[in-house]
């Protein structure tokens, strides 16, 4: 059944005659909304947000890999319809050896897709454990009992996935041969370095907060809010890490997408408009993440919660006034 569904999906989204960018972007975005809808229906029915975050991470993982494997999946689907032997699915390691022939990946595609895989698995596991440990997600306290309001959260998450993955989808849409024609660029080094730094910062911040919470539950301290470690440098080091890692992905993608071989591979003219399009697609990702975390769901909700609890306390006011919100104190 799954195989027939995949064949139907690939057939409906083949879009022959469309430029490679759209042939990859449309089914990838459609998959994000389909997956979120599939999880939304039972979640709304049972008024539970338990699988919201983990479904978001699973959608990142699925859509990222789908955009990477679309050419080989389409080739296998075509072979199945004609009775011809199916070409093998390439592995991520094939980008280093070109052992998968015409359907092999370029190392840039494998690198960005692997980054999304590692990030989505790590964050999804962390958030799922957190909601199991806490029993609920406070963000949904006023939403889960209202089907109409709760329903909005799921397409919103699909939009988040689509915008964040825009640079990865765009790079995966470029034929590997076109990417191979682009020599190593400074962004191929800077982008992964930013991703690694942001990923490490986010993990360290989450672990520090998790350890602090466990110690508080064990009565090892009586602190009401965390002000030590990375949290003494800025009030949201985990958000800084998140924004930094997506900036790294965008930097890597933009650096190659603006080149002439990549522009031609995407079906763009290669002029100013084409370059502006791929720059916008790339940096929409970190821009949206930063806006979401600092202006919508992250910092505003946290500050509202802590201001109501501790706003009257001088130690809290001192920490809030003397600790930068986002960009940390170095010394």
Query: Does residue 256 carry a pLDDT above 90?
Result: yes
Among 156, 180, 204, the domain boundary falls at 180
190 and 174 fall within a common domain: no
Mean pLDDT of 197-208: 95
98 and 117 fall within a common domain: yes
153 and 235 fall within a common domain: no
> What is the per-residue pLDDT for 248?
98
- Banded model confidence at residue 72, pLDDT cuts 50, 70, 90: confident
> What is the per-residue pLDDT for 99?
47
169 and 235 fall within a common domain: no
- Banded model confidence at residue 269, pLDDT cuts 50, 70, 90: confident
Percent of the chain scored above 70 by pLDDT? 89
Residue carrying the six token digits 């939009």: 159
Helix (H) or strand (E) run with residue 66 in it? helix 52-82
Domain range for 243: 181-331
Report the distance separating Cα 85 and Cα 68, nearest Å.
21
CA distances from 246 to 69, 73, 176, 186 (A): 22, 27, 23, 17
Percent of the chain scored above 90 by pLDDT? 56
> What is the per-residue pLDDT for 12?
64
CA distances from 37 to 31, 42, 48, 157, 198 (A): 10, 9, 14, 10, 30
170 and 98 fall within a common domain: yes
In this structure, of 114-123, 127-136, 160-169, the range with the lowest mean pLDDT score is: 127-136
Q: Is the pTM of this model over 0.85?
A: yes
237 and 264 fall within a common domain: yes
Q: Classify burial at 182, counting beta carbons within 10 Å of its beta carbon; exposed 0-12, middle 13-18, buried 19 or more.
A: buried
Per the structure, how many domains does the chain have? Answer: 2
Q: Are 95 and 101 in contact (CB under 8 A)?
A: no
- Give residue-wise pLDDT tens across range 210-232: 899 889 888 888 888 899 999 99
- Give residue-wise pLDDT tens across range 73-104: 887 777 777 777 777 777 766 666 654 455 67
Residue 129: both structure tokens together: 């454990």
Mean residue pLDDT across the chain: 87
10 and 158 fall within a common domain: yes
């Amino acid at each position: 059944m799954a195989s027939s569904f995949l064949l139907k999906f690939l057939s409906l989204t083949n879009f022959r005659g469309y430029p490679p960018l759209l042939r990859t972007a449309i089914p990838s975005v459609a998959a994000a909304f389909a997956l979120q809808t599939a999880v939304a229906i039972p979640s709304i029915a049972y008024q539970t947000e338990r699988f919201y975050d983990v479904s978001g991470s699973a959608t990142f993982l699925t859509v990222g890999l789908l955009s990477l494997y679309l050419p080989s999946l389409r080739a296998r689907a075509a072979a199945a319809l004609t009775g011809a032997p199916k070409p093998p699915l390439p592995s991520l390691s094939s980008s280093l050896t070109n052992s998968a022939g015409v359907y092999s990946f370029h190392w840039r595609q494998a690198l960005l897709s692997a980054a999304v895989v590692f990030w989505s698995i790590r964050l999804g596991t962390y958030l799922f454990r957190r909601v199991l440990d806490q029993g609920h997600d406070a963000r949904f306290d006023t939403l889960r009992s209202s089907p109409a309001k709760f329903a909005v959260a799921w397409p919103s998450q699909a939009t988040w996935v689509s915008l964040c993955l825009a640079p990865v989808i765009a790079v995966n849409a470029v034929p590997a041969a076109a990417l191979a024609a682009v020599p190593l660029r400074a962004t191929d080094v800077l982008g992964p370095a930013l991703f690694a730094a942001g990923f490490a910062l986010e993990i360290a911040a989450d672990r520090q907060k998790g350890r602090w919470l466990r110690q508080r539950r064990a009565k090892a301290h009586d602190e009401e809010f965390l002000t030590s470690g990375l949290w003494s440098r800025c009030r949201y080091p985990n958000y800084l890490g998140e924004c930094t890692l997506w900036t790294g992905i965008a930097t890597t993608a933009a650096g190659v997408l603006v080149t002439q071989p990549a522009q031609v591979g995407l079906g763009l003219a290669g002029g100013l408009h084409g370059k502006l399009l791929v720059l916008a697609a790339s940096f929409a990702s970190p821009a949206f993440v930063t806006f979401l975390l600092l202006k919508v769901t992250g910092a505003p909700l946290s500050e509202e919660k802590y201001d109501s609890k501790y706003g009257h306390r001088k130690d809290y006011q001192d920490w809030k006034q003397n600790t930068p919100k986002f960009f940390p104190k170095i010394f």
